[in-house]
Chain A
Amino acid sequence: MNKARRNPVNMIAAHGILIAYTVIALFPVVVILINSFKSRRAIFRDPLALPDAESFSTVGYQTVFNQGDFFLYFQNSMIVTVASLFFVLLFGAMAAFALSEYRFRGNTLMGLYLALGIMIPIRIGTVAILELMVNTGLVNTLWALILVYTAQGLPLAVFILSEFMRGVSDDLKNAGRIDGLSEYTIFFRLVLPLVRPAMATVAVFNMIPIWNDLWFPLILAPAEATKTLTLGSQVFIGQFVTDWNAVLSALSMAILPVMVLYVIFSRQLIRGITSGAVK
């Protein structure tokens, strides 16, 4: 360590830049949250003040609860996200196991075929996806979204998981084979528990884009019964544009679930990104 590396002036400058950027990153979120608890007059009189006894009001939240079906939207988002993650992980792990464990003709080709989707966004095929969903009667069902997100998540999942499965010891699997376990039992009982950390990384990577997506819910499932939270808040806010209390409350309610997920999974997410899973 030399002097330049622990120069106190540099350290203060470093913290200064980081604090400044942290403020920039958090400021809009904080402004929305504090103003959602204020009365309409207080929102406009002093937007940066915290709500106090006089300006505190939950009128916005009351409008949101009375007018929008936010519990239903939340439930839809939850079903879509959880089901998509389940299929991405299950199908992705199975395919990754086949590609990393067995040597068969076309193995490399299959790997490349599945990896194509990492770089090509599924949105390009939207016109034909909509046509497919209309023809199969899946339009305006949550299944349409689950299928699309599963297909969207599979390429990266297969890629990450097969890298990981190559590291699982052969001795372990062969010991299982000598004990007469079937290939399926080896996969589900021996290999899957060992790659759990990689599965968690894949889950966290997929979770946020699925939860936040606006494009496919808007096109494939815009019906009232199948609106996701993202689409539901978009439509709600569009209708209540002039009701600032309601808009701010709706935004806060949309922020809340992602923040909870982030607090729970942030270590996993950051570890996943920094361990080079996306290189």
Chain B
Amino acid sequence: MGKSRIKWHIIVFLAPAVLVYTAIMIIPLFNTLRLSLFTEVDQERIYVGLQNFRTLFGDERWSASFWNALGNNFWFFIIHMLVQNPIGILLAAILSHPSLRFSAFYRTAIFIPTILSFVIVGFAWKLILSPIWGIAPGMLDAVGLGSFYQPWLGLEETSLTTLALISVWQFVGIPMMLIYAALLTIPDEILEAGECDGVTGMAAFWKIKLPLILPSIGIISILTFVGNFNAFDLIYAAQGALAGPNFSTDILGTFMYRTFFGFQLQLGDPHMGSAIASAMFAIILIGVCIYLFGIQTRMRRYQF
């Protein structure tokens, strides 16, 4: 130890991972940030400073699309937080009940949508909700709610919420599993001590278990945040790159795709695309920082 010669084996062990990771992930990430400061004039790349961002936030045509996509993205995230995570916690709380039978079966079955690709999920729900096929209206008719039916995916007011709920349907398995795992680590003694003090049933959940699984809920929230703010596939599979009807389901991922890759009559613009990617990067970074420094460090963790 302490010899000055280079330990080649350490380099050999580290090199492949570091090279691939640096070349394919880190350098392109910074290159994308850098590209957002350039533009193309007569097939030549010229430096324009923050001009692209000025266009993105200042030019009426761009800023309207950007704020629309960002607002939709926040709504998409809020639906996940309000629907996906509570359902996940509820299912996990029921599943973790020690005397529940068939819990392995329920877990496996409820996780199935999570493994399906967005293409399958998007089209399957599109078919089911379609007025042509009539499964959704038929089923609503059967329970006397037929008049309630609307082609939810085709209406501007409802399509984004519908897609968010489809995404919730797909991913509810992840919070369920993580909370389930957290609930299993709570020692029986603590629950029994609560019972001695008369804290049982729902009260035990709210007063003992919920505070103990808060760190897991924090992790799920940040995973949901990062996942939602670079979502793309479901919207693309169900509504196409134009995120119809009338851009009402446009989120940052589809907006960036259209901008840098081009669609129909609009030519792709990698520099504006990079500007949008940089904005997404900033949003995700802010979210992660709020979580790491604002939430995670303040959360009380208990050691058993």
Contact = CB atoms under 8 A, between A and B. Distances in A.
A and B interact: yes
A54 B177 CA distance: 42
Given A14-B100, A124-B230, A214 B237 contact: yes
Nearest to A24: B169
A98 B10 contact: yes
B97 interface: yes
B195 interface: yes
B150 interface: no
Contact of B115 (A48, A125, A258): A258
B115 A152 contact: no
A140 interface: no
A26 B173 CA distance: 12
A25 B119 contact: no
Give 7 nearest A-B pairs by CB, closest first.
A128-B31, A125-B28, A151-B24, A95-B17, A212-B117, A128-B28, A98-B13
Q: How large is the interface on A (under 10, 10 to 19, 20 to 34, 35 or more residues)?
A: 35 or more
Contact of A127 (B94, B125, B274): B274
B24 A148 contact: yes
Contacts of B273: 127
A275 B177 CA distance: 10
Given A104-B10, A183-B9, A262-B115, A255 B18 contact: no
Given A91-B16, A275-B181, A31 B120 contact: no
Contact of B110 (A22, A219, A233, A237): A22
A92 B17 contact: yes
Interface stretch (B57-65, B66-74, B132-140, B153-161): B132-140
Nearest to A247: B123
Contacts of B110: 18, 21-22, 25
18 contacts: A5-B200, A15-B100, A21-B87, A92-B17, A102-B10, A104-B10, A125-B32, A127-B260, A128-B29, A148-B24, A150-B24, A154-B17, A214-B119, A215-B232, A259-B115, A266-B108, A273-B174, A273-B178
A154 B260 CA distance: 27
Nearest to B282: A124
A110 interface: yes
Given A214-B237, A278-B219, 18 more contacts: A25-B109, A26-B109, A31-B127, A48-B135, A95-B14, A114-B17, A119-B222, A120-B281, A124-B29, A124-B281, A132-B24, A148-B24, A211-B117, A212-B117, A214-B118, A219-B257, A258-B116, A259-B115
Most B-side CB within 10 Å, residue of A4, A119, A127? A127
A173 to B, nearest CB: 13
A121 B230 contact: yes
B178 A278 contact: yes
B272 to A, nearest CB: 10
Interface residues of B, number: 91
Interface in A4-46: 4-6, 10-11, 14-15, 17-18, 21-22, 24-26, 28-29, 31-32, 43-44
A4 B25 contact: no
A140 B135 CA distance: 39
B21 interface: yes
B164 interface: no
